[in-house]
Amino acid sequence: MAVAAVVILPIGLLFLLSGLLINFLQAFLFILVRPFSNNMYRKVNAHLAELLWLEVIWLFDWWAHIKVDLYIDSETLELMGKEHALLVCNHKSDIDWLIGWVLAQRSGCLGSALALIKKSLKFLPVIGWSMWFTEYIFLERNWSKDKNTLKAGFENLRDFPMPFWLAVFVEGTRFTQAKLLAAQEYAVATKLPVPKNVLIPRTKGFVAAVNHLRSFVPAIYNCTVAIPKDEPLPTVLRMFGGRSSRDASLELHHFKNSFEDMECHGIGRPKKSLFVVIVWSCVLIYGGVEFFKWCSFSWGTIAFCAVVLLVVVISMHVLILFSQSEKSNPPQEASAINSQDILKHKLLP
């Protein structure tokens, strides 16, 4: 992880400074354009968000060289990015959300890729703020509070001017062995089928989504992310370290190391994200050179630069912590089961 520590600072500086500029432009549009034309605001904001998200995709594609194989039928592949769609996803690794972004970027709808996510992410510097401007739906994971938030969020998408993807992680949290054990306990206690590879789905959000979106969203994409057994789970920290992995995004998967008769489609590695990162780097290097030409060398300048670098390090540390599976909370119903009950039952491995 020594390499990761070295690259976090320059990549974090690039992401934070360019992201703050994007956030400023998004706020400007939100205040001055959105009241007069919401469609215009959404279209321009989608391009701004894409300029930010592409930096993360560059990390995935060009730095870590993570390979994604897509197993899907040709008819659905042809429609991806051309229609509104509800994506029902599992949460196998720390970067499943990023795999969704990669697929959306390949399909041409990265700027309009949305998700139901926990409310705390709204306060993440740059990335959370940009999600708020892009109309992600933030939930407290408390149904009495979230049902009205969901209804308003879904209705707000009715007149969305371009194809969007709305991702729903029905497990409600990221997969870990500890959470699988809790899910198995809950399944035994409630006489549900005992899961082996996924957690017990939390269906209220999905049902609410189908009920509200069915009149204008024609498709549901059933997406399952699987990591081959001989590959390590990809994480944000592994990406910073430039450590590759291999993922398979499957439309149908029976949780074994074969993919039935589905067609395999390589999704490639477009140069667009590489171009965006190069342009952002040139802009910020030029701005940095001009800044140091303008300001005189002093202890105040050194202190200012030190504070900026400290903020970058802290921000990236927070982002990495938020991305880790171990830091996400398990479903309340699973954690409520008495942990001693498991001793009375034979659970599947």
In a domain, 143, yes or no: yes
Q: Are 111 and 131 in contact (CB under 8 A)?
A: no
- Do the domain assignments include residue 325? no
Q: Which residues of 48-59 are buried (b: 16+ CB within 10 A; e: fewer)?
A: bbbbbbbbbbbb
In tens, the pLDDT along 43-73 reads 999 999 999 999 999 988 998 888 888 888 8
Short-list 7, 19, 94, 85, CA closest to 54: 19
Tell me the whole-structure pTM to 2 decimals: 0.83
CA–CA gap between residue 134 and residue 155 (Å, rounded): 15
- Asked if pLDDT for residue 243 goes beyond 90, the answer is no
- The mean pLDDT of 132-143, rounded to a whole number, is 92
DSSP sequence for 180-201: HHHHHHHHHHHTPPPPSSSPPP
Q: In this structure, is residue 349 part of a structural domain?
A: no
Report whether 96 contacts 224 (CB < 8 A). Answer: no
**Residue 29 CB contacts under 8 Å (≥ 6 apart), including other chains:** 41, 44, 45, 48
pLDDT band at 6 (very low <50, low <70, confident <90, very high): low
Number of domains in the chain: 1
Q: Is residue 336 situated within a structural domain?
A: no
- The answer to whether residue 284 is domain-embedded is no
Residue 234 has pLDDT above 90, yes or no: no
Domain span at residue 127 reads 1-274+315-319
Tens-digit pLDDT profile for residues 166-189:
999 888 777 778 888 888 888 888
Give the pLDDT of residue 226.
77
* Residue 295, in any domain of the structure: no
Residue 289 lies in a domain: no
Percent of the chain beyond pLDDT 70?
Answer: 84
The reply to whether 72 falls in a domain is yes
- What per-residue confidence (pLDDT) applies to 5? 56
For 74-95, write each residue's pLDDT tens digit: 888 899 999 999 998 887 777 7
